[in-house]
Amino acid sequence: MSDPLASLPGYVLRRASSAALAGLNRRLAPYGLRHADVSLLLIVRDRPGITQSEAGRMLDIQRANMVPIVARLEAKGLLDRRRADGRSQGLYLSEDGEGQAAALRRDIDAYETALIARLPEALREHALPVLTALWQAADAEPEQG
């Protein structure tokens, strides 16, 4: 049975995103972490001292939703908060967090390589630029009212 929505780019993009995320979540399952947890760990690894609100903006996660993510990673001993100035706190990986983030990055890189390998070879180099263009165009698009 053919999918009558398969000619709609937005629909196909959502289906592709769901499939890719499901595969990533299967890959992350042994770590006992959610993809948002992993995203935060990798951002903190790259930008030690980043504030919770800065990381939330990068990940497009609401402030209220960042609180449990940070708390969960702290409870697992992967993330530390340190006072950055009078009010804000910087996020840093613990020693265990550093090791976990390195292992996660290796697994994610392998997953991403396998994901792109599913595409016909002629399309592989275009995949990321096309997806990035769609993402950036959506961020720049004014809200419809």
Residues across the chain: 145
Please tell me the predicted confidence (pLDDT) of residue 22.
94
Per DSSP, the three-state class of 81 is strand
Predicted confidence at residue 102, as pLDDT, reads: 96
For 41, residues 6+ apart whose C-beta sits below 8 A from its C-beta are: 33, 73, 78, 79, 93, 97, 100, 101, 104
Total structural domains within the chain: 1
Inside any domain, residue 2: no
Confidence at residue 125, expressed as pLDDT on a 0 to 100 scale:
95
Is residue 67 included in any domain, yes or no? yes
Angle in degrees, 0-180, between the axes of helices 35-46 and 95-117, rounded to the nearest 10: 110
pLDDT of residue 144: 63
User: Is residue 14 domain-resident?
Assistant: no
Q: Does residue 110 belong to any structural domain of this protein?
A: yes
The whole-number pLDDT of residue 137 equals 85
Q: Is residue 112 in a domain?
A: yes
Determine, yes or no, domain membership for 132. yes
Cβ neighbours, 10 Å, residue 52 = 20
Tell whether 88 is covered by a domain.
yes
Residue 108: which CATH number? 1.10.10.10
Q: Is residue 6 part of a domain?
A: no
Alpha-helix runs per DSSP H in the chain: 9-28, 35-46, 52-59, 63-75, 95-117, 121-140
Mind listing the pLDDT tens digit of every residue in the chain (145 residues)? 788 899 999 999 999 999 999 999 999 999 999 899 999 999 999 999 999 999 999 999 998 999 999 999 999 999 999 987 777 889 999 999 999 999 999 999 999 999 999 999 999 999 999 999 988 887 676 666 5
* Structural domain of 88: 22-119+127-136
